[in-house]
Structures are given as structure tokens and as C-alpha cells.
Chain A
């Protein structure tokens, strides 16, 4: 049973870079056919897919965030990461890491971490 756990600062200042890491246990980020994904949920609102890194290393981003987002993987630590630059209050949200198998629905999720953008 794969488990995912997000970690990173809960408070980021406007215009700075948000950095989060997802640690994976019970499975390898480089094996199988999986989409290792980042999703966010604004307070009391719906869900937004930020992007993914596939097991083979290919990456795709939501066009609405593409210019500010980078997803990468650290195979030695079995982690994948999210960086989002030039954040504003509109980026305040709960950020989830999750895994999709073969297709882009998500059967495994981390618990989520709240990131607040505020000075």
C-alpha cells in the first residue's frame, strides 16, 4: 500500500517561492506506470490539478500555472517536489500530493498541507 506525505513551510511571503516535497513509501517513484501529481484546494473550494511527473520522468503542468511551477523528482530519497514562484495570496491553499495509475484519476493521496501566503 503506497503512502504519500507532504512536507514544507506552512507560511510563504508574497512574491517568494513555495517549495513542497512529497515522500513516498511502499512504492518507487521510478517504477510502474504512475502519475505522481500535485493538486491544490483553495479554502472551502474545489480542486485544481497543478501538474505531474510520470514514472518515466516526463512532466506536464496545468497551463494556468505553467509559467510559475516546476515539478522534480529525487530518486535517491524516493521523493518528488513542487516549486511555485512569485506566489500571491491567491496561492493560499491545501496542497496534496497524489498518485494516479496509468490514467489521470487519483487513487492514493497524501493528507495535504496548508500553505498560507502572507507577509
Chain B
């Protein structure tokens, strides 16, 4: 199965600053990559699919990009509600696999 590696495990950022989260696939997944946000006690919320397409209702401060097997989620101007956990997921191959997550914490 494809292994998704997220870095860093924890990212410390000041409110209002930009956060850049990374996700690397062990092999090509084309652009079949999604990003989710998960708040404590809640299910994941889809943010991005097809590597860079925002899901319905997702604020424009969230953006995704790709370069080969490396994917990036950027959050511009972090708001208080953004300090939670983010997961990437590939859906190019079965089974779909998730990264281990990046926790964004207040610096």
C-alpha cells in the first residue's frame, strides 16, 4: 500500500501567520490527494480534493498544491479555529491511505 508521510508532526505558528504543511507519497498518486481538518471529538472535515480543489464552504485561506509526490496544504493568516489537526489522504490506489497528521499549535 502507499505510505503517506506528513511533516512536521507538530507545527507552531502565531495567529495571523501562514502555515505550510507537507505530505509525501511513497509512490505516484497523480493528483488524487485530499486534505482533511479534524477538531477534537469531531470527524474529519474535507478541505481539499484533487490536490488543489477546495471543498464546498472551505475558506479561501486554505490552498493545496503538488509537486510530483509531494503535496502542500497552506493556510494563510491562521485563525483561532485553525489550530487543530490536519490529515492528507491518497485515493489513487486501493486501499486509500492517510498520513499520520500534523497538529498546528499556537506559538
- Bin the interface of chain A by size: 20 to 34
Contacting pair B98 A105 (CB below 8 A): no
Residue pairs across A and B with CB atoms within 8 Å: the count is 51
Interface residues of B in 58-107 (CB under 8 A from A): 87, 89, 91, 94-101
A96/B46 contact (C-beta < 8 A), A46-B100, A49-B95, A107-B55 known: no
* Minimum distance in angstroms from B47 CB to a CB of chain A: 10
Interchain CA distance A107-B55 in the complex, whole Å: 8
Interface residues of A in 31-61 (CB under 8 A from B): 45-49, 60
Contacting pair A109 B96 (CB below 8 A): no
* Minimum distance in angstroms from A93 CB to a CB of chain B: 13
Some 11 contacts from A to B, beta carbons below 8 A apart, are A46-B100, A46-B101, A47-B87, A48-B98, A62-B95, A96-B43, A104-B91, A104-B96, A106-B44, A109-B44, A111-B43
Known pairs A96-B43, A109-B44, A110-B43; list 14 more (Cβ under 8 Å): A45-B100, A47-B89, A47-B98, A48-B98, A49-B95, A49-B96, A49-B97, A63-B1, A104-B91, A104-B96, A106-B34, A106-B46, A107-B46, A111-B42
B: residues with CB less than 8 A from A are: 1, 32, 34, 36, 42-46, 49, 55-56, 87, 89, 91, 94-101
